[in-house]
Chain A
Amino acid sequence: MTEKILFKYIDQPDQYKIDTYIKNGGYQAVPRVLKELSPEQVIDIIKKSGLRGRGGAGFPTGMKWGFVPKDSSKPRFLLCNADEGEPGTFKDRELMQKDPHQLLEGIIISSYAIGANLSFIYIRGEFAFEANRLEEAIKEAYNKGFLGKNILGTGFDLEIKVHRGGGAYICGEETSLLSSIEGVRPLVRLRPPYPAISGCYECPSAVNNVETLSNVPHIIINGAEWYAGIGTPKSKGTKIFCLSGQVNKPGNYELPMGTPLRELIEEYGGGIKNNRKLKAVIPGGVSTQVLPVTKVDVKLDFESLIEAGSMLGSGAVIVMDENTCMVETAYRLVQFFEHESCGECTPCREGTYWLSRIMKRIVQGQGRMEDIDLLLDLCDNIFGKTICPLGDSVTIPITSTLQHFREEYEYHIKNKRCPVERK
């Protein structure tokens, strides 16, 4: 196993304090960037490192920054997406709680790269502790001259503001995040224009995930080649996997991209609880397809998971054992999306409602055989026909459980009860 990058000092109790952070080698990338590198060079390094977004979509970070126009007369903004709303995901929280300066350093460098003098951290409303910790860390960084006017005498100015979210899953979607920061209802915006051209307050903006930004200082210090040397050819670096579900040792594990799923569950997670058998895994948060036990040897990286019929998503690995009913699981997930649909577009707003009604009927033993086709039809009417990807996500639990566990649905409908014998 390679060395940890983001979590290297995560277990040191004082790592959140600036002195400890500096003692452990922190805030070395900032002076190097500000004094020695041009913004273009920073973007180049990130491009070469192969860093891809950790928020779910896996978009190449350097490329995203490159879209932000350099010659705009408008101010530019860097937005850190700390909404962490995807069920099963809890990595950003730990990063902000235990190593906030690592994130701040990443933000400073990224802001410099795109020419932003103001950056927002949009943090999930429930994360009160983390928000306070970030505020304190920001204060410390100001006092040491890493933030504010004329940072380290280089002429670069940067303010960071912590913006606490209003509490909706959709706020994590990058365009509704922009609306939410502006103080209006988090309505999803139409693209184009993309945020890089017209984002926050109609100014060029880049939105990046906490984990993505936390990687940046390390890449600067150790070089793009070093980072590109970790992981697989197309998925570079390490990834924090949020292991949850019926495993013995749930938690955050930072592992190189391409680590096999089995290894994560068995070696790091200590295997399935109570010696039960593994039944299925959701590998990347609830917006990704369920994989049956047969796929447990898949490697955890962007490409391999797509090949296996799922996605890396946010890296939230949810493990289910043989006692889990897949129909009920799908119903539970659909309920989540029904609750979180923003209501802006028809297929998602109305579709989630009907999906949830039909699923409820099946779970309660009142389903009909035609319901399965109705579900698939509905999913087909939603997928790809909504404004934002949330609409697509709604259909994923249903289509993927139907693909791999159709017999459970049929059993529910025929026998009016759940097929899972709870041991």
Chain B
Amino acid sequence: MSKPNDTFTVNIDGQILLASKGLTILQVAEENHIYIPTLCAHKDLTPFGGCRMCIVEVEGMRGFPTACTTPVEEGMIIRTDTAQIQKVRMEILQLILSEHTSSCLICEEKEECREFQGTIRKVGVTTGCRYCSKDGQCELQEVVEKLRLRQINYPIYYRHLRVEKDDPFYDRDYNLCILCGRCIRVCQEIRTANTLTFKQRGCYTVIGPAYDRSHLDAGCEFCGACVSVCPTGALSEKTNKWEGEIEQKTTTTCPLCSIGCQIGLLLKGGKVIGTLPAEDPLVNNGQLCVKGRFCITELVNNFHRLKKPYRTHDGIKVEISWQEAIKLAAEKISACPAEDFGLLISPNCSNEDLYIAQKFTRAAIGSHQIDTSARVFYGAGFNAYLDLMKMSASLSDIKNASLVLCIGLDTRFGRSVIGVEIRKALKKGARLFTIHPREHNLALIAEKWLQPVPGTEVDILNTLVNLSEEKRKAAPPAKSKWRIKSYEDELSGLVEMLKKAYSPIILLGSEFLQYKESPQIYEAVRKLTQKVKAKVLPLPPQNNLFGSILSGSYPELLPGGFSSTEEQRLKYLSKKWGKNLPAFSSGWNAEKLLAGTKLKVLYLIGEVPTGFRPPADFIIFQNIYPPAPFFEADLVLPSAAFTEVEGTYINSEGRIQRVRKGVEPPGEALPDWEILCRIAQEMGRKGFEFSNPCEIREELSNLIKGFDEREIDERKINPLICEGKFVVSRSGLPIKKKDAKNFPFLLTASSVEDTYRGFPLSLWVEGAKKLFAEGILEINPEDAQKSGISQDDEVIVTASSFEETWRARISKEQPQGILHARLFPFEKIGPNPHAVRIRKKNA
């Protein structure tokens, strides 16, 4: 709030207006609905003053100051629209247009042209004037129309720059660029990714990464912020080029990771044609990562989407009606003994879906055999991770932190909005430390990057814990002293800083989630957090992991975080649901599924646990995309995607957020909860008479805190309360002594975490294929040379428990003696690290 003496009056075009110190002439004019044409100014960016469109006259000032850069002063007399100004603006606009193809701007036929052309693309080819895909949504066009420019006195000068289409997701045609610098500023100031700059000078100036690198090499996060602010058609999104103006916008929650960014679905003709970040101060502050910004449109529109139910007979696909499908499912399930039924549901599903799925399993079938893939993902560390989730800080704590310690976090593509928040903190003077075994984007900006040899990260963390215990002597555990020797000083320094920092925060990424020692790692993180009084924010890749826990989508957990062993609660639910729930016994779960335990009926909702047919007599596959042919599902049911349903997710902070329906599902696809309810009703079960998610939430709100409609709209944070515990397989095995002779290398593998409902994004999204590489083995150049391996060779990797073949990618960033594999989606080789040896295939 400005102090009263910072408020004064100015005179704009004869109007006496209230203004306050620090505002620019442009801001004051806009507040008062006085139009000043602008091109380079943008409300979220620092003034640049380059385009010179916004010139005004100020009494007592020489020449023509620019409104966007000139701060108002008390008593200023400003004129925005004199004949002289109009003339100069017209001239400047002409100069801008002299190097911008402009038939779309000043062509006499443009009105007719717009009205009578059916397909823009074809007309563009024949008449050569419809080359800009942003026709109709271009700010330059708007300014030209507002100033009523009809003619350009300069010949048009076409720069003949190559249209850049090589990078994923967006194209760049700098022949249309007016050098307003907005893209550069948004990348520097808001994203702080610093990918772009002006190159060359004078009339040869172009935009791009310095030194002619590709965007991919220059560290571009493909966040699309630059595309959003470009006032011309120079930057355009590949997927919605030529789509024209949108008809409607719906705000919803992105399901591609647990941050739960608020996105605007851009709708046209009953289709999602794009997504933009919503201005949401609670979560993503107008930012998105590449997944939310660019992947969703293709993901939900891909023509492979399932549209009708079908069943397979001896490998032959037969489309059936919903009625038949529901009947078949009900028959099979009714005939199946409770202990031979298993339901696996994706933590990408909404709370409503998850709740109904577990109610279906428990109340309709009388079993606890419901699970999600998260169990396999977190393995032995699931309980320890759960403990961390209970301590979750809020996202806004990041930008206010004075010290940020990132553990296994990379924010380049996924979670890049976290990267933006971290950099905000750095700008305010915070210190950044990162622990990660490989080169990652934070390494560049961190004060210190601790790079553990895989398998020693737990020692680093335990040392930090020990050092933080005041009285105890600061010595690392003896057995592992050698492993962290080089870090001793840094570690004690870091602990000192952590202790002194007034608002430290620890962010936990994905890297160490799938390590043998993950339980110990999370445990150490928890202790460290408590010892140094830091905040902690685990950032799981599963967007609704929180919801899957609270809704009771695990054998061990009942809705509300109660343990399934708690008889009192079981009785309560039995009464509520009108069905006697069985006592809990650890039967089937996702791990057993992978281990080969056979079922009579396996029901998969949004999960693709294996690459081949899992062991079951009858498999119901309910998803938005079909299974691979060799998966051999018996009954395939088409689900609606998140853009087509109403519901809620809970993000990593514990915030319940709404999912809103933007479009109808394709073909006959239905929401998961509805399919489940119909099957249950067909089976004659009571308690599934829901006609919309709202009714489900009403039931939910009696069992779980926070689900009252009013509370949901407040979007408050509800810390995770969960009394139950997972039954996990034996806690992580310590890594075996390195058998240096047979297995000279250490291998870590990361499986794709960029998935939706069991499918990797790269399967359905063209651009994602370029960013998220799979089936690749990263190897240090010297190691490669010694083993006779060159780029793109096929390499056979052998461990005591597996043998796999991947393509070599030689990378200087990979430390010597350590390999890294990026796994195909369904590949599972067990927790990291592995001792391996390598050889070239066919050598």
Q: Is B13 an interface residue (CB 8 A)?
A: no
Q: Give the residue of A192, A339, A350 whose beta carbon is less than 8 angstroms from that of B95.
A: A350
Q: Is A140 an interface residue (CB 8 A)?
A: no
> How many angstroms from the CA of A352 to the CA of B52 in the assembled complex?
15
Known: A192-B71, A345-B51. A340 touches B201 (CB 8 A): yes
Tell me, rounded to whole Å, the shortest Cβ–Cβ distance linking B515 to chain A: 40
Does B201 contact A342, Cβ atoms closer than 8 Å? yes
Tell me, rounded to whole Å, the shortest Cβ–Cβ distance linking B744 to chain A: 43
Q: Is A230 an interface residue (CB 8 A)?
A: no
Known: A185-B198, A343-B205, A344-B50. A350 touches B91 (CB 8 A): no
Q: Which residues of B contact A345 (CB under 8 A)?
A: 49-52
Q: Which residues of A contact B157 (CB under 8 A)?
A: 353
Digit string of B197-227 for contact with A (CB within 8 Å is 1, else 0)?
1101111110000000000000000000000
Does B47 contact A385, Cβ atoms closer than 8 Å? no
> How many angstroms from the CA of A341 to the CA of B64 in the assembled complex?
20
Known: A343-B179, A347-B52, A381-B92. A352 touches B202 (CB 8 A): yes
Q: Give the residue of B51, B154, B204 whose beta carbon is less than 8 angstroms from that of A346.
A: B51
Tell me, rounded to whole Å, the shortest Cβ–Cβ distance linking A275 to chain B: 40
> How many angstroms from the CA of A298 to the CA of B50 in the assembled complex?
38
Q: Which residues of B contact A190 (CB under 8 A)?
A: 47-49, 69
Q: Is A376 an interface residue (CB 8 A)?
A: no
Digit string of A236-273 for contact with B (CB within 8 Å is 1, else 0)?
00000000000000000000000000000000000000
Known: A346-B96, A350-B95. A385 touches B201 (CB 8 A): no
Q: Is B62 an interface residue (CB 8 A)?
A: yes
Q: Is A349 an interface residue (CB 8 A)?
A: yes
Count of chain B residues near A, Cβ 8 A: 34
Digit string of A324-360 for contact with B (CB within 8 Å is 1, else 0)?
0000000000000011111111110111111000000
Does B203 contact A353, Cβ atoms closer than 8 Å? yes
Q: Is B794 an interface residue (CB 8 A)?
A: no
Known: A354-B154, A385-B63, A386-B52. A347 touches B92 (CB 8 A): yes
Count of chain A residues near B, Cβ 8 A: 29
Residue of A341, A344, A351 most packed against chain B (CB within 10 A): A344
Q: Give the residue of B50, B88, B95, B197 whose beta carbon is less than 8 angstroms from that of A387.
A: B50
Known: A346-B51, A346-B52, A349-B203. A381 touches B95 (CB 8 A): yes
> How many angstroms from the CA of A170 to the CA of B96 in the assembled complex?
22
Tell me, rounded to whole Å, the shortest Cβ–Cβ distance linking A251 to chain B: 32
Question: Considering only CB atoms, which chain A residue lies closest to B95 in the complex?
Answer: A350
Tell me, rounded to whole Å, the shortest Cβ–Cβ distance linking A352 to chain B: 6
Q: Is B396 an interface residue (CB 8 A)?
A: no
Digit string of A353-377 for contact with B (CB within 8 Å is 1, else 0)?
1100000000000000000001001
Does A385 contact B202, Cβ atoms closer than 8 Å? no
Known: A349-B205, A350-B96, A354-B98. A385 touches B50 (CB 8 A): no
Q: Is B782 an interface residue (CB 8 A)?
A: no
Does B49 contact A352, Cβ atoms closer than 8 Å? no
Tell me, rounded to whole Å, the shortest Cβ–Cβ distance linking A289 to chain B: 18
Q: Is A145 an interface residue (CB 8 A)?
A: no
B interface with A by C-beta (< 8 Å): 47-53, 55, 62-64, 69, 71, 88, 91-92, 95-96, 98-99, 153-154, 157, 178-179, 181, 197-198, 200-205
A-B contact pairs, 20 of them (CB 8 A): A190-B47, A341-B202, A342-B201, A342-B202, A343-B200, A344-B48, A345-B50, A345-B52, A346-B95, A346-B178, A346-B179, A347-B92, A349-B179, A349-B203, A350-B95, A353-B157, A354-B154, A381-B91, A384-B62, A384-B63
Given contacts A344-B198, A346-B52, 11 further A-B contacts (CB under 8 A): A187-B198, A190-B47, A338-B202, A343-B204, A345-B51, A346-B51, A347-B95, A350-B203, A353-B99, A381-B92, A387-B50
Q: Which 10 A-B pairs have the closest CB atoms?
A: A343-B205, A384-B63, A341-B202, A350-B95, A353-B203, A381-B91, A345-B50, A343-B201, A190-B69, A344-B50
